Every structure is written in C-alpha cells, then in structure tokens.
C-alpha cells in the first residue's frame, strides 16, 4: 500500500556524482538520483494521497461487506447441501450425501426426517445430530458414528451399520429390524421401545445399555456381545433371541 510521507528536495546531480566511489557506479547513481527526483515530484500531488485514502476505504468496506454477508453465505451453503440430499433420494451410492449431511450436522442444522434410504454412507459422522424420524433403511452405514445423537422413531431396517457407534445415543422407538449391528457400540444407548427383531448383535458392546423396555428382540443374534448384563442375556433369550456363532447355525 502507498504511504504518503514528507519528502525533502534531493541533492543535485553534481553532488550525487561526487558520492560515486568508482566511475562504473555513475549509471547506477544516476538511476537512483532520477528516481528520487521523480518521487519528490509525485509527492506534491494531492491526487495520489486521495487515491491512497480511497484504497484504504475500499479495503475497509470489503471487510465490512464480507462479515455482513456471512449469514447469507451460510444459508446458501445449507441450501446447496439440502439440494444434494433431496436430489439423491431413492438413488444408490453416496451422491455427495455424506459431506452434505456432515456439514449440516456440524453447523447444528436439525436433520429431522431426513431421507437417506438405500444410500452408501460408510463412515459418516453424525455425532450429536438431531435425526428424529430419519430414514436409513437398507443403507450401507458401516463404521457410521451416531454418538449422543437423537434417533427417536428413526428407521434402520435392513441397514448395515457394522462396527458403527451409537454410544450414549437416544434410540427410542427405532426400527432396527433385520439390521446388521455386528460389532456396534451401543454402550449407554437408550433403546426403549425399539424393534430389534432379526438384528445381528454379535460382538456388539452393550455396556450400560438401557434395554429393559426394548419392544421386540425376537430372532436377534446376541452371540459374543460384550459387557452385556446377565439380566439382559437371560431376558433376550427368553423373548426369542438366539446366540449362535454363524449365520449357517
């Protein structure tokens, strides 16, 4: 940025010549002397000083405009993310939905009733998301993270959430019928009213899981579950669950 400074009248050429320590330096000294005189001449132009102030003000206005329009930019970003999600409904593959859902969730946007059935959403991270009544039926969500999320009345029927995490999630009245929850972390999750019929719970971590009000666990496979309370195992087997090592059994 140009900075206006008070300039003193340069020396005469003869004075500059005497400062040259070697004749070969005279051309260099002449260029320096000419530049000094040119700068001195321009320093008297008030017009250039005005341009400097205008440039400074334009930067200030640009900064103010950037911050004042930040809300509109966020809205536009969210609108584009919802477009990606909505236009991908009913289609296989990711279709950009992983980034769109994660971005909205990161910004605290509720994902209530989001439609993501038959989608490829491996390793998606929707920690602390509001996913009430969301539909993930028949989706590939292996490694998905739903820790501390609200999932009341969500649909995970026939979904593959193998090795995912629902730690401390609120999973009341959720449909998991025929879902693959092998290796899933359900520690601290509340499954009150949920349907776990036909679910593969092998190797799942059930530490401190709230299971007492599970609606249906018939044909669920609880073989190798980790940290499950003896009361849960006994109750599950009494209500139609099985404990077998492989699908063939």
**Higher-scoring residue by pLDDT: 20, 144:** 144
Domain ranges of the chain: 13-68, 92-244
Residue 184 pLDDT exceeds 70: yes
Average pLDDT (171-177) is 97
Interval 117-131: pLDDT, tens: 999 999 999 999 999
Mention every residue, 6+ apart, whose C-beta is less than 8 A from residue 89.
Answer: 115, 117
Name the token pair of 30.
């002449």
104 pLDDT more than 90: yes
Beta-bridge mates of residue 160: 140, 180
Percentage of residues in the chain having pLDDT higher than 70: 69
pLDDT in the model for residue 69: 56
Q: What is the mean pLDDT of the chain?
A: 84
In this prediction the pTM is 0.71
CATH topology of domain 92-244: Pectate Lyase C-like (2.160.20)
- Give 78's contacts (C-beta < 8 A, 6+ positions apart): 104, 107, 109
């Amino acid at each position: 940025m140009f900075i206006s400074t008070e300039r003193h009248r340069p020396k005469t050429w003869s004075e500059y010549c005497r400062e040259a320590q070697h004749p070969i330096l005279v051309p260099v000294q002449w260029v320096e002397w000419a530049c000094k005189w040119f700068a001195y001449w321009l320093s008297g132009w008030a017009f250039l000083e005005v341009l400097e102030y205008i440039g400074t003000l334009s930067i200030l206005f640009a900064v103010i405009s950037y911050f004042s329009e930040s809300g509109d930019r966020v809205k536009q970003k969210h609108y584009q993310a919802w477009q990606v999600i909505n236009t991908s409904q009913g289609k296989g593959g990711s279709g950009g939905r992983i980034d769109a859902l994660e971005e909205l969730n990161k910004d605290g946007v509720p994902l209530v009733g989001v439609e993501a059935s038959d989608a490829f959403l491996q390793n998606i991270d929707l920690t602390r998301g509001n996913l009430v009544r969301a539909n993930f039926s028949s989706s590939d969500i292996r490694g998905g993270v739903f820790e501390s999320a609200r999932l009341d009345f969500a649909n995970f029927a026939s979904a593959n959430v193998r090795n995912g995490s629902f730690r401390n999630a609120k999973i009341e009245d959720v449909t998991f019928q025929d879902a693959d929850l092998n290796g899933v972390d359900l520690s601290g999750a509340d499954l009150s009213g949920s349907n776990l019929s036909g679910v593969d719970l092998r190797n799942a971590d059930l530490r401190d899981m709230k299971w007492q009000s599970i609606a249906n666990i018939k044909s669920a496979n609880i073989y190798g579950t980790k940290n499950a309370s003896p009361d849960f195992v006994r109750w599950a087997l009494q209500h139609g669950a099985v404990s077998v090592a492989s699908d063939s059994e």
